[in-house]
């Protein structure tokens, strides 16, 4: 099969999920009205929490740095709005933990962002590009949340940049709309990232259920040899890093290896767009496109440009959800397979928030994690696991606390895709059991590697 004259690349194992993308994929990106209060967590990335750089009482403006930490594994945090800092205190975040946050009473009249610069990125030196990326505080916008600066600040050049436009989780269409509406920014971001990492080739991998985005980008690239759109089979989890590398380049990263070891860096398309805006317009990472959707309950599902720090309750009210009648519903931040159900509607959108989904009781299936249902050894989970693991068996080791055996059977390689829980006829919370065991299993694997190195 071909699309836009290009062969569609396939994924080995995985699952064809019902997509639900038709709820929002034709809806143009709309700006969401501002909340009265913004809550901006000082930890929105992998790494250390930033320190506040503004005191309570300070008047701030959009794009102004409000948090920073002089450590490599951190990212600066910026205000998304104009207003007055009313508190700096722990607030609940999507992780389920409280994080020190800057609370701002929003001045809606002054909250428009005016780009302080507009410049051509092409004559800029690589160090200047890197500094602009670091300053902007961008993180993996597909949900990974690794500081972009760390990903692109390499000792050795990497020949291939893979931009991930697979967007393989159901409901989410924010990447599709960005590829359609911000195509020039995406291509500009790809050019900047290629220069920074020393890549000579960029592939933009897009699942074929986004044929409009494939056509638009292929048309805009007009046969360019250095940046190429690659159509991908629609199958979950095509967007998992190792899967997309294999699909677009044919390379298979060895287990436990970093993608750079097979000459690739993978970034989400939203990260490339954010990179372009930070370098060209001096716009820090303080707003993003979020898909707000769900079957039945959301009256105006769509893709909204949302300021970081906006409470999800404010967003749901704007899209016509009766937030007083959500008993039995689940509100999920992220996609339905890898996202997290939320305990409070006060939780704010952060840099990595791809979606806010309201799932009615008919779509909520509970799996008892305290007393997991037994594994009936049907083998369905192993049949679909994209990493070729045996999730059922691993879940038994995890439940028993037998972490060394789970390490022997490579639990640390789990992609956390959720397919094993999804397909399990016993309704066993397989993924949750594996996630709980994973940190200890990873520690064991790391220790084994250290000992093996010491033995030479
Ligand atoms: S074991 Fe991990 S990678 Fe395999 S299906 Fe389950 S969650 Fe996905
Ligand atoms: S799908 Fe469920 S019951 Fe079947 S092997 Fe996997 S964990 Fe066991």
User: Domain containing 240 — which CATH number?
Assistant: 3.40.50.11540
* Strand extents, DSSP E, 166-286: 201-207, 227-232, 264-268
- Residues of the chain under the 70 pLDDT cut: none
pLDDT value, residue 73: 86
CA of residue 379 to ligand 2 center, whole Å: 6
- 373 inside domain: no
Expressed as residue numbers, the domain containing 220 is 2-27+118-281
State how beta strands 83-92 and 59-60 pair. Answer: antiparallel
Ligand 2 pocket list (CB less than 6 A) = 375-381, 391-392, 395, 423-424, 426, 428, 430
Q: Is the CB of 420 under 6 A from ligand 1?
A: yes
Ligand 2: residue of 373, 379, 432 to mutate (most ligand atoms within 8 A of CB) is 379
Residue nearest to atom 5 of ligand 1 (CA): 385
CA of residue 237 to ligand 1 center, whole Å: 10
Residue nearest to atom 6 of ligand 1 (CA): 420
| Among the bound ligands, the one closest to the CA of 375 | 2
Which tokens go with 151?
Answer: 């990903």
pLDDT value, residue 343: 92
CA angle 16/161/254 to nearest 5° reads: 65
The domain total for the chain is: 2
Q: Is the CB of 418 under 6 A from ligand 1?
A: yes
pLDDT value, residue 87: 98
Q: Which of 155, 129, 151 is nearest to 140 (CA)?
A: 151
Which of 281, 316, 349 lies at the terminal end of a domain, its last residue? Answer: 281
- 19 inside domain: yes
- 192 inside domain: yes
- 132 inside domain: yes
Ligand 1: residue of 17, 417, 434 to mutate (most ligand atoms within 8 A of CB) is 417
Which of 230, 254, 281 lies at the terminal end of a domain, its last residue? Answer: 281
Which tokens go with 322?
Answer: 């009766």
Going by the DSSP 8-state scheme, the letter that residue 198 receives in this structure is T
Whether 264 and 392 map to the same domain: the answer is no
**Which residue is listed with tokens 């190195």?**
453
Q: Is the CB of 433 under 6 A from ligand 1?
A: no
pLDDT value, residue 145: 82
Which tokens go with 54?
Answer: 């503004």
Which tokens go with 37?
Answer: 């209060």
Q: Is the CB of 431 under 6 A from ligand 1?
A: yes
Residue nearest to atom 1 of ligand 1 (CA): 391
Cβ proximity of 214 and 208 under 8 Å: yes
Whether 399 and 268 map to the same domain: the answer is no
CA of residue 392 to ligand 2 center, whole Å: 5
- 48 inside domain: no
A 10 A CB-CB count for 105 gives 13
Which of 281, 302, 332 lies at the terminal end of a domain, its last residue? Answer: 281
pLDDT value, residue 76: 95
* Element containing residue 133 per DSSP (H, E): helix 126-136
Residue nearest to atom 2 of ligand 1 (CA): 414
| Among the bound ligands, the one closest to the CA of 417 | 1
Ligand 2 atom having least distance to the Cα of 392: 7
Whether 261 and 409 map to the same domain: the answer is no
Ligand 2 atom having least distance to the Cα of 375: 8
Whether 133 and 246 map to the same domain: the answer is yes
Cα–Cα distance, 146 to 197 (Å, whole number): 16
| Among the bound ligands, the one closest to the CA of 384 | 1
Which tokens go with 5?
Answer: 């004259």
pLDDT value, residue 155: 86
**Which residue is listed with tokens 């291509």?**
187
Whether 400 and 272 map to the same domain: the answer is no
Ligand 2: residue of 368, 373, 392 to mutate (most ligand atoms within 8 A of CB) is 392
Whether 390 and 264 map to the same domain: the answer is no
Q: In what order do the strands lie in the sheet with 98-106?
A: 37-41, 98-106, 83-92, 59-60
pLDDT value, residue 256: 73
CA of residue 323 to ligand 1 center, whole Å: 33
- 126 inside domain: yes
- 406 inside domain: yes
- 311 inside domain: no
């Amino acid at each position: 099969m071909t699309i836009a004259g290009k062969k569609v690349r396939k994924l080995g194992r995985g699952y064809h999920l019902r997509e639900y993308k038709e709820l929002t994929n034709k809806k143009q990106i709309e700006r969401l009205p501002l909340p009265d209060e913004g809550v901006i967590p000082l930890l929105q990335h992998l790494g250390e929490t930033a320190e506040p750089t503004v005191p309570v009482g300070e008047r701030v403006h959009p794009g102004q740095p409000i948090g920073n930490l002089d450590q490599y594994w951190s990212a600066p945090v910026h205000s998304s709005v104009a207003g007055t800092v009313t508190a700096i205190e722990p607030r609940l975040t999507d992780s389920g933990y409280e994080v020190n946050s800057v609370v701002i009473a929003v001045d809606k009249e002054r909250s428009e962002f005016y780009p302080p610069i507009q410049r051509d990125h092409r004559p800029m030196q690589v160090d200047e590009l890197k500094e602009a990326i670091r300053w902007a505080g961008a993180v993996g916008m597909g949900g990974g949340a690794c500081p972009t600066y760390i990903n692109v600040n390499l000792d050795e050049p990497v020949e291939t940049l893979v931009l991930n436009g697979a967007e393989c989780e159901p409901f989410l269409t924010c990447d599709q709309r960005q590829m359609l509406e911000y195509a020039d920014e995406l291509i500009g971001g790809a050019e900047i990232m290629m220069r920074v990492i020393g890549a000579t080739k960029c592939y933009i991998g897009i699942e074929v259920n986004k044929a409009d985005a494939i056509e638009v980008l292929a048309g805009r690239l007009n046969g360019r040899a250095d940046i190429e759109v690659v159509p991908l089979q629609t199958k979950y989890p095509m967007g998992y890093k190792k899967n997309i590398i294999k699909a677009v380049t044919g390379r298979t990263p060895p287990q436990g290896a970093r993608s750079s070891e097979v000459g690739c860096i993978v970034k989400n398309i939203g990260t490339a767009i954010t990179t372009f805006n930070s370098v060209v317009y001096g716009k820090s990472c303080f707003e993003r496109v979020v898909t707000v959707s769900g079957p039945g309950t959301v009256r105006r599902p769509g893709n909204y440009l949302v300021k970081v720090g906006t409470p999800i309750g404010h967003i749901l009210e704007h899209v016509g959800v009766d937030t007083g009648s959500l008993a039995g519903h689940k509100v999920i931040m992220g996609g339905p397979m890898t996202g997290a159900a939320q305990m409070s509607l006060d939780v704010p959108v952060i840099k990595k928030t791809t979606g806010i989904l309201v799932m009615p009781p008919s779509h909520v299936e509970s799996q008892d994690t305290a007393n997991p249902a037994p594994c009936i050894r049907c083998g369905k989970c192993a049949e679909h696991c994209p990493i070729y693991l045996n999730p059922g068996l691993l879940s038994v080791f995890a439940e028993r606390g037998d972490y060394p055996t789970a390490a022997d059977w490579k639990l640390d390689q789990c992609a956390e895709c959720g397919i094993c829980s999804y397909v399990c006829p016993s309704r066993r919370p397989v993924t949750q059991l594996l996630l709980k065991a994973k940190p200890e299993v990873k520690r064991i694997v790391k220790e084994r590697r250290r000992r093996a190195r010491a033995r030479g």
